[in-house]
Structure 1
Amino acid sequence: MKKIIFTSLILSSTYVLANPSPLVSIDSHDQFFNAISKHCGKAFLGKVTSGGSSNDSFSNNNLIMHVRRCNDTELQVPFHVGKDASRTWIITKTGSGLSLKHDHRHKDGTPDTSTMYGGHTVDAGWAQAQSFPADQYSKELFIKSGIPQSTANTWHMYIYPEKFTYRLTREGRDFSVDFNLTKSITPPPAPWGYKN
C-alpha cells in the first residue's frame, strides 16, 4: 500500500513539473499587460514631460520605446536614448501581480553593475495605470551603489489609446516621459545585449 502511495506521489509530481499551472492574473493586470502587448513590434517617439533639464541626455536626444518582444507572460520594451541602447524594460506576469525590471547593458552586451532593478505591483492598479515600488533586490543594489535616495523609487506606467507614460517618483524627484502612440516609427536596432 505504501509503495502504491509513494509511486502515485512521484507520478503526480512528475505531471506537475511537466505541466506547470498557467499564471493567473486579475483583470486590471491582464488589461494593462494586453494594452501594451497590442503594440508589439511597433516603436514610438517620446519626450520628457517633467523632471528634465536642458543639459541631460533625456532632454537632448530622441527617445524611443520599442515594444519589441511579447509573449503571454513577458514584454520586452527597449528604451533608446539617442544612440544609447542600454535600457530594456521587462514587464512580467508573476502570478501575484506584475513585475517591472530595468535590464541595463554595456555596448558589448555585458550587464551593467546596476541592472535588473525595479519593483512589483502591490495592488490591483488599473487597466490604464500600474505602479512598481522598489523591491528588496533594488534597495540593496542602490545602497551598495551609493544612491540610497533611490530606495524610495516607485516606477509608474500609464497607457491610453494615444499615449504611454513612463514615470519615476520619489521625494524630491518626479521624472516622466510621454510617448505618442498615434504614430509609429521605424523600429531601432536591437538593444545592447539582445539579438536582432
Structure 2
Amino acid sequence: MKHLLIPVCLLLLMACSKPLYQLNNSQESFYKSLSKHCGNSYAGKVVFPADDKDPFAGKLLTMHISTCSDTTIRIPFHVGEDKSRTWVISKTEQGLQLKHDHRHKDGTPDEVTMYGGVALATEEKLEQRFLADAYTAQLIPAAATNEWTLALSPDGRTFSYILKRDNQLRFRADFDLTQPLKTIK
C-alpha cells in the first residue's frame, strides 16, 4: 500500500498543475492578446447603425479592461453615465465564452443578464465569434440567433464589438486601442 501512495500523490500533483481549461490555439491567442490591455480604458464610438435612432448614438462609449486572471477577463462597458454592463470573457470546458453581465446601480443583477455564448472553433486569432447559447434563447427569445464578435484589428489599433441577429448586422462599436484613457488601479 505504501508503494502506491507516492505514485498516486504524484499523479494528483500533476493534475493540479495543468490549466483548468484548455482552449484551442486561436482562442488562447485571442485571450492573451486581449489580456495585454488589462488595466486600461479605451474610448469607442458606434459605427453601425450610423443614425440618431440608436440609443448609444452621441454618448461616450468606454470599455475598461479591468480584471484579468488566467480564466476570466471582465470588461465594464459604459454608455455615457450608464455603468450597468460588463462583458465577461471566460475559459470554460466548451471553449472561450462571452457573457453580458447587467447590473442595477445597487449591484443587484438585472432581470436580463448573463446572456451570451461560446466561441466557434476557428483558426482566427484576432477575432472570436460567439453564438447565442440555450440560456440566451430562453431568456431573450428574439436573441436566439445572435452572434457576437469580438475582434482585434491586424494592426492592433482597434477593438470591435459586433452584434449580428438573423445574420444581419445590428450593432458595431469600435474602440481606439492606441489612446488609453487611464490606467485602472
User: Under a length normalisation based on structure 2, what TM-score does the superposition of the two structures give?
Assistant: 0.86
Contact 1:90 1:101 in 2 (8 A): yes
Any stretches of 5+ residues in structure 2 without a counterpart? none
**Correspondence for 2:56:** 58
Any stretches of 5+ residues in structure 1 without a counterpart? 143-147, 189-195
Contact 2:128 2:149 in 1 (8 A): yes
Structure 1: 4+ residue segments shifted above 4 A: 10-21
Which structure is higher in strand share? Answer: 2
Letter in 1 for 2:157: E
**Correspondence for 2:170:** 174
Indicate how the Cα distance of structure 1 residues 67 and 126 shifts in structure 2: closer, same or farther if over 3 A, else same.
same
- Find the aligned partners of 2:121 and 2:87 in 1 and give their Cα distance: 20
Partner of residue 42 from structure 1, selected from 16, 40, 43 = 40
- Find the aligned partners of 1:187 and 1:103 in 2 and give their Cα distance: 22
Give the drift of 1:65.
0.5
Letter in 2 for 1:153: N
Give the drift of 1:136.
0.4
- Find the aligned partners of 2:15 and 2:35 in 1 and give their Cα distance: 28
Does 2:160 match 1:162? no
Letter in 1 for 2:41: A
1:96-135 correspondence runs (5 A): 96-135=94-133
**Correspondence for 2:138:** 140
Give the drift of 1:60.
1.9
Identity of aligned residues (%): 39
Over the aligned positions, Cα root-mean-square deviation in angstroms equals 2.7
Indicate how the Cα distance of structure 1 residues 173 and 22 shifts in structure 2: closer, same or farther if over 3 A, else same.
closer
Give the drift of 1:185.
0.3
Give the drift of 1:97.
1.3
- Find the aligned partners of 1:14 and 1:31 in 2 and give their Cα distance: 28
Question: Does 132-141 or 17-26 show the bigger shift?
Answer: 17-26
Give the drift of 1:21.
5.3
**Correspondence for 1:145:** none
- Find the aligned partners of 2:146 and 2:94 in 1 and give their Cα distance: 21
- Find the aligned partners of 1:135 and 1:32 in 2 and give their Cα distance: 21
**Correspondence for 1:150:** 143
Partner of residue 95 from structure 1, selected from 75, 93, 96 = 93
- Find the aligned partners of 1:40 and 1:93 in 2 and give their Cα distance: 16
Give the drift of 1:124.
2.4
Indicate how the Cα distance of structure 1 residues 97 and 152 shifts in structure 2: closer, same or farther if over 3 A, else same.
same
Question: Does 25-34 or 79-88 show the bigger shift?
Answer: 25-34
Letter in 2 for 1:122: L
Q: Across the two proteins, how many residue pairs are aligned to each other?
A: 182
